Chains A and B, each alone.
Chain A
Amino acid sequence: MSDPQRVNIELNGRPVSVPVGHTLLSAVFNAGFGTTRTSVTGQPRGPLCGMGFCHECTVTIDGLFHQRSCMITVRQGMVVETVPLP
């Protein structure tokens, strides 16, 4: 049975169940991933501002790069990657 209070997303190839209303950023960190973005010189990065202006928490969602995970609420079935760009 699916729980109406939770949504299922795919995070770096792993199925993860997240409470409705959580931001994607929280989902990434609560699932144990310690970073969101890899910087242009290859450094691991995590969120800074938490409100959409620093762009450190960007991830790839359904193939779209550079999406701010702190501004996006989890949606059923979203496929999320925190791996560096090709």
Chain B
Amino acid sequence: MKPGADVLIIGAGIVGVACALECARVGLSTLVVESHMVGGGATGAGMGHLVVMDDSPAQIALTQLSCALWKELQPDLPGSVEYDACGTMWVAADHEEMAEVERKSHIYSNAGIVSEVVTGRKLYEYEPNLRPGLSGGLRVKGDAVIYPPTAAAWLLDQAIHKGSKFQKGQAVREVHEGGIVVFENGDRLCARTVVVATGANATKLVPGIALKPRKGHLIITDRYPGHIRHQLIELGYLKNAHQLTQDTVAFNVQPRRTGQLLIGSSRQYGALDSRIEKSITAKMLERAFWYLPHLKDLLCLRVWTGFRAATPDKVPLIGPAPNPVTGRPMEGVWLATGHEGLGITTSLGTARILADRLVGNTPSIPWEPYEPLRFSLQKGPIP
């Protein structure tokens, strides 16, 4: 079969469309195939926080690169993307967490990220609705918030403008070595490189990769402009968010440009259906009430769930896919998934790295930490 395009991207979530734009930008002929709609999966379910996260050097590097790329795009983004440079406030409940603020601020400043240590009264000047008695926080002014589904649609439009093609309505059933894609209706397409960007569903096309769905719940309120001003996250967030086995909740509340509040967050492994889980949602609300007592009176409009694509080391998979049997790179099949809760932020960085690697450029940050083969090479080929 002759390749019909340089790059065929499966999935029009934000990662897929960002990859399409970057590939088109470096001159590759690009096709995006999507079974349902743009941004209809994890992209449509997520929060849209553009944030620098400091869990590991690889995570800082990718989130920092990505936030810088979002800032470059920002002047061009349409109003519907609801870009809001609200910043993040990491909230410290007590003195112990205040020590963590200092540590975090250090990491950020070493990475060249501006942050402000906030203590006592200053915290309440920034966020008057936080509960009294908190110790302080770390304010990261450069973080922002967007509305992901329209951002994905806009990125796709840009990609199409640069020559990328888009095909909607047929789901992909199989992906084979040699860049071959088989659709549900039996149609086949071939590309020099197929990029699987289907989030937590990537394991259906490339079995055996180190990826698990991690369920999350979100609640959105009616419009209460000014109730909070920054994305508020408890400092224990990373601690909570990255326990690998337990179900966890953390205080993570976002002000939308509409004035709505988006209340999160929860993380569960092993929960595979999309139903609302009462106990975890109740815990999530309880945690949010502890930090924001007036939240109790605000009217909630909707509750929903989504699935993050989680890897064991919390860093995404960007590069050649491992063959499920040999563990060696599959010819012509790449992955762009495993972004866990950071896919909206890191979509742009992912796309930049992927496109650079595809045309043989050296990415601006080391790409090795995101190499999907890192897991299969560790365990070696399956005998």
Q: A residues touching B (Cβ–Cβ < 8 Å)?
A: 40, 64-66, 85-86
Given pairs A85-B259, A86-B225, A86-B226, 9 additional interface contacts (CB within 8 A) = A64-B297, A65-B222, A65-B223, A65-B224, A66-B222, A66-B223, A85-B223, A85-B224, A85-B225
**Docked-complex contact A40 and B258, CB < 8 angstroms:** yes
Known contacts A40-B258, A85-B259; is A66 also within 8 Å of B299 by CB?
Answer: yes
What are the residues of chain B within 8 A of A85 when measuring CB–CB? 223-225, 259
Tell me the smallest distance from the CB of A45 to a CB of chain B, in Å.
14
Q: From B226, which residue of chain A is reached at the shortest CB distance?
A: A86
Output the nearest chain A residue to B222 by Cβ-Cβ distance.
A66
Interface of B toward A, CB cutoff 8 Å: 222-226, 258-259, 297, 299
Shortest distance from the beta carbon of A79 to any chain B beta carbon, whole Å: 16
| Residues from chain A with Cβ under 8 Å of B226 in the complex | 86
A and B contact pairs by CB, cutoff 8 A, 5 listed: A64-B297, A66-B299, A85-B224, A85-B225, A86-B225
Name the A residues within 8 Å of B224 (CB-CB).
Answer: 65, 85
Residue of A nearest to B221 (CB): A66
Collect the chain A residues with CB atoms within 8 Å of residue B222's CB.
65-66
A84 to chain B, nearest CB (A): 10
Q: How far is the CB of B292 from chain A (nearest CB, A)?
A: 16
Count of A-B contacts judged by CB separation below 8 Å? 15
CB-CB under 8 A from A64, the residues of chain B are 297
Interface of B is mostly: loop
Report how far A46 CA is from B297 CA in the complex, Å: 24
- Determine how close the nearest CB of chain B comes to the CB of A76; give it in whole angstroms: 21
A66 to B300, CA, bound (A): 11
User: How many angstroms from the CA of A86 to the CA of B299 in the assembled complex?
Assistant: 17
Q: Which residues of B contact A65 (CB under 8 A)?
A: 222-224
- The smallest C-beta distance from B205 to any residue of chain A, in angstroms, reads 41
A44 to B339, CA, bound (A): 44
- By the criterion CB–CB under 8 Å, are B225 and A40 in contact? no
Q: Nearest Cβ in chain B — how far from A53, in angstroms?
A: 13
Q: Which residues of A lie under 8 Å from residue B299 when comparing CB positions?
A: 66
What is the chain B residue whose CB lies nearest that of A63? Answer: B297
Give chain A residues whose Cβ lies under 8 Å from the Cβ of B223: 40, 65-66, 85
A50: min CB distance to chain B, Å: 20
A85 to B223, CA, bound (A): 9
Contacts of B297 in A (CB 8 A): 64
| Cα–Cα, bound, A64→B298 (Å) | 8
Of chain B, the residue at the smallest CB distance from A64 is B297
Closest 8 CB pairs of A and B: A66-B222, A66-B299, A86-B225, A85-B225, A86-B226, A85-B223, A65-B224, A64-B297
Q: How far is the CA of A86 from the CA of B223 in the complex (A)?
A: 10
Chain B residues, CB < 8 A from A86? 225-226
Give min CB distance, A2 to chain B, whole Å: 30
**A40 vs B225: C-alpha distance in the bound complex, in angstroms?**
12
Task: Give the docked Cα–Cα distance between A65 and B222 (Å).
Answer: 9
- Chain B residue contacts of A66, Cβ below 8 A: 222-223, 299
Shortest beta-carbon distance from A41 to chain B in Å: 12
| A64 CA to B296 CA, complexed, in Å | 12
Q: How far is the CA of A1 from the CA of B224 in the complex (A)?
A: 40
Report A-chain residues with C-beta under 8 Å of the C-beta of B259: 85
* Complex-state Cα separation, A39 to B299, whole angstroms: 17
**In the bound complex, how far is the Cα of B259 from the Cα of A85, in angstroms?**
10
* Closest CB in chain B relative to A40 CB, distance in Å: 7
Q: Please, which residue of chain A has its CB at the minimum distance from the CB of B297?
A: A64
User: Complex formed: what's the CA distance from A85 to B224 in Å?
Assistant: 8
Q: Which residue of A lies closest to B259 (CB)?
A: A85
Scoring A40, A64, A65 by chain B CB atoms within 10 A of each residue's CB, the highest score goes to A65
Q: B299's closest neighbor in chain A, by CB?
A: A66
Alpha-carbon separation in the docked complex, A24 to B78 (Å):
40
| Closest Cβ neighbor of B223 among chain A residues | A85
Task: List chain B residues, Cβ under 8 A from A40.
Answer: 223, 258
The distance from the CB of A66 to the nearest CB of chain B, in whole angstroms, is 5
Task: Tell me, in angstroms, the Cα distance from A64 to B227 when the chains sit together.
Answer: 12
